[in-house]
Amino acid sequence: MATNQGNTGVDGAGSILSTVAGPSNAKPPSSLGNNNPQGDVLLEKQAGGMDLADQIDYNVNKPGEYGDAARDPQPGQTAKPASDIVTASTAVENIASPKTGSGQPPIGVNNTNAPLDRVRADSSDRVMTTNQGVPIADNQNSLKAGLRGPTLMEDFILREKITHFDHERIPERIVHARGSAAHGYFESYQDLSALTRANIFSAPGKKTPVFVRFSTVAGERGSTDTARDVRGFAVKFYTDEGNWDLVGNNIPVFFIQDAMKFPDLVHAVKPEPHNAIPQAASAHDTFWDFASLMPESMHMLMWTMSDRAIPRSYRTMQGFGVHTFRLVNAVGDSVFVKFHWSPLAGTHSLVWDEAVKISGADPDFHRRDLWEAIEAGEFPEYELAIQVFTEEQADSFPFDVLDATKIVPEELVPLQPIGKMVLNRNPDNFFAETEQVAFCTAHIVPGIDFTNDPLLQGRIHSYVDTQISRLGGPNFHEIPINAPVTQVHNNQRDGMHRQTINRGRVSYEPNSLGGGCPFQGGKMTGFTSFPQPMVEDKVRGKPALFADHYSQARLFWQSQTPVEKNHIIGGFRFELTRVQVPAIRERMLSMLVNVDEALAAAVADGLGMDVPPPQPLATTRPLPSYPPSPSLSLFARPGQTGIHTRRVAVLVANGTDVDSARAIYASLLADGAVPRIVGSKLGKVAGCHGGTLDVEITLEAGPSVIYDAMIVPAGEQAAQALSMDANALEFVRLQYRHCKPIMVVDAGAQLLAKADIPANLPDGTPDPGIIGAEPNDVPAALDAFKEVLAAHRVYLRETDPPMV
């Protein structure tokens, strides 16, 4: 017998999983270069296999705009068969499943990404039909009594089309409504069977398909990506023994300790009910009213006011399971575990002013970034690490491991890397996959179990419950993206939207009539709950250690660099400035005093208030003190991907040295960056020594905030023209203000002078992110530029004067 998550309870039994999903077309087909407006690019073979022309085609065609074209042939184009497109992943996986002789799988049949492809449909070159499969002769004109007469009731084709349209929307998620997702796989580094019998960790190199959804929490489905908010990091593992969902966030703690408070928390942060303002923002009275009355949220608030809440990309943030879970091995021994994801691209964030401006410039900033990276074959990778400790060890910690407002410091329990996740395929259909996916903390597999964390316990109920209404009934586990790759057999029947056609007369157990679904599980084969002894009174309350609300908030604060501390102060100042009720601001300040007096003073200063006395503590026990934990700083993880996928604006105008601009562009591309030729209008700019260059995007359509860095190539006349252009000046100033690397060649320095960009840092030393180059010195300058770009930002520009 299996659960609806396909947990068979029989090792390996019933598994149809032999290989792992890979991309069908991660690299954009070069045929798209037909549309390339920039015909005059270099042609030089790259070591990595993708030639420069392909890369430039890809970039010129703007990744966000070719997605559909890459899959579906456009008029006059022939789609490149998926198998012809070699990507790093297909090379590794080599998982293409058998195709029919024509190369076209039948409708509804899996083509290249077994096993999750089993229901992908490709309608290219197929005759249009009704939902009953009847061929349609005319899809443009309704059936009328005469050309100018009334439409006939019998027009079932019209009515079916409109009726379906009328019902195309489903309720959005009550939280985490806005998200983006990707397919990929998880690969285990080692055999963890001593700790857990979870099948996905049973052998080194074992691969398990995953679907991952990243999200913001508070905003509605159409809200902006770069709001200050927690990010969801939900992973569905399609394991051999059913689905395991690790439904985490990018912050390792949470606002509250008990599920009982979750509806209050969400009501407080969502738009206020009388006027539905503000969208996707915690900067309003009701949120801070709740928070200031909920001191257990203090630790989480430190994280959400930090740059963790404005990541540069879903690819540059960590993920955490948050709760303490259990691992259980084959003989029933159990240890506690915390799960951590760390991106190979490092942890990088935006600065607040930039995040605000991106909301206008590109509300899909994170969605686009994830999509484009995967389409370009720059597959995001995250390492999974665990912290493992025994129940006895947990008893000796100065905090309670069942309290979701506490971390287990890495200094106390080191991280153990156990595998990596690679996201290598974008969804085919946003609604069918990203919108309909249903994650749930209750979806666990043999070898993994819950703890008594009272927040986790409430979540186990909440997800399935909400999905029954969001996805229209109890059968949403049959929706392809939710269906396990294992077979599902049980005696559950019927209900709205039932897809499975169960055979036989027996749908109960025990039975003597045969057929149906015999129960084959049993102790240590099927899922068995860890038999934790429990003899306690029924109570409403919380353990004593839960009442320490400040010591880990202080640990977080003390582990931050000066730059990060300034940003946290800025976050509190911004949010509390938006709060209208002075008493709420004062209560928050009184909580901050308990974290750190200098922090409270700096925030109070920004609010024009005095520092109030500290809020009384909820405990009389002495608070533990922790040594700073360097790994809590974002800067602890610079990443291993260099300048890959970093976006660089190359500013041009008439008079730009076209050859120099091309050389810079090609050099950036060769190192994996994403350069763009940016000018004041589309069309060609004339080079100072002849030749022309196509502008790819304008200063208005591609403003400063969507780039990680900028370069002004050589060219006296171009530098003068840019210096007269208000958009170009604004561009440079924002690049500087947002701490981005800036390189100028020769006369390009005029632009910096006109924009009043200082060459030195506030402490008087040269700014390493302002790189000037002579025309004959460009390669060396580019090397220096790339080095600063790989380090992401020059935050030293900001630290004068430090606020604490």
Catalytic positions: 176, 249
Q: What is d(CA 569, CA 562) in angstroms, rounded to the nearest whole number? A: 11
455/712 with CB nearer ligand HEM: 455
Q: What is d(CA 361, CA 357) in angstroms, rounded to the nearest whole number? A: 6
Contact 343/317 with Cβ under 8 angstroms? yes
458/638 with CB nearer ligand HEM: 458
Residue 547 DSSP class = G
* E strands in 147-230: 179-188, 207-216
Place of tokens 């015999």: 518
Least distance (Å) from ligand HEM to the CB of residue 594?
23
233/665 with CB nearer ligand HEM: 233
Least distance (Å) from ligand HEM to the CB of residue 310?
17
Residues lying near ligand HEM in the complex (CB under 6 A) are found at: 173-176, 179, 213, 215, 232, 234, 247-249, 254, 259, 262, 322, 404, 437-439, 455, 458-459, 462-463, 466-467, 470
Least distance (Å) from ligand HEM to the CB of residue 511?
35
Amino acid at 145: A
190/466 with CB nearer ligand HEM: 466
Least distance (Å) from ligand HEM to the CB of residue 171?
8
Kind and range of the H or E run holding 389: strand 381-389
User: How is residue 381 written in tokens?
Assistant: 């990778």
Q: What is d(CA 187, CA 170) in angstroms, rounded to the nearest whole number? A: 34
Q: What is d(CA 93, CA 379) in angstroms, rounded to the nearest whole number? A: 14
Least distance (Å) from ligand HEM to the CB of residue 322?
4
471/773 with CB nearer ligand HEM: 471
| Residue positions forming the annotated binding site for heme | 173, 213, 262, 459, 463, 470
The side-by-side arrangement of strands in the sheet containing 674-679 is 697-698, 674-679, 647-651, 709-712, 742-745, 770-773
341/731 with CB nearer ligand HEM: 341
Kind and range of the H or E run holding 88: helix 88-93
Kind and range of the H or E run holding 786: helix 778-790
Least distance (Å) from ligand HEM to the CB of residue 249?
4
Three-state secondary structure string covering 28-71 = CCHHHHHHCCCCCCCCCCCCCCCCHHHHHHHHHCCHHHHHHHHH
Residue 624, class by beta-carbon neighbours within 10 Å (0-12 exposed, 13-18 middle, 19+ buried)?
middle
Nearest CA among 177, 661, 196 for reference residue 418: 196
465/494 with CB nearer ligand HEM: 465
5/704 with CB nearer ligand HEM: 5
* Alpha-carbon distance values, 471 to 437, 466, 482, 513 (Å): 9, 8, 11, 35
466/528 with CB nearer ligand HEM: 466
Q: What is d(CA 283, CA 576) in angstroms, rounded to the nearest whole number? A: 7
Q: What is d(CA 621, CA 218) in angstroms, rounded to the nearest whole number? A: 35
| Residue positions forming the annotated binding site | 173, 213, 262, 459, 463, 470
C-beta nearest to ligand HEM: residue: 232
Amino acid at 186: F
Least distance (Å) from ligand HEM to the CB of residue 624?
23
Least distance (Å) from ligand HEM to the CB of residue 181?
7
Least distance (Å) from ligand HEM to the CB of residue 458?
4
Contact 294/255 with Cβ under 8 angstroms? yes
Helical ranges in 671-714 per DSSP H: none
427/570 with CB nearer ligand HEM: 427
With a CB cutoff of 8 Å and minimum separation 6, the contacts of 764 are: none
Least distance (Å) from ligand HEM to the CB of residue 425?
17
Helix, strand and coil content of the chain, in percent to the nearest 5, comes to 35, 15, 50
Beta bridge partners of 135: 129
What SS3 state is found at 423? strand
Contact 302/557 with Cβ under 8 angstroms? yes
Residue 311 DSSP class = B
Q: What is d(CA 600, CA 507) in angstroms, rounded to the nearest whole number? A: 63
In this structure, the number of other CB atoms found within 10 A of the CB of residue 128 comes to 12
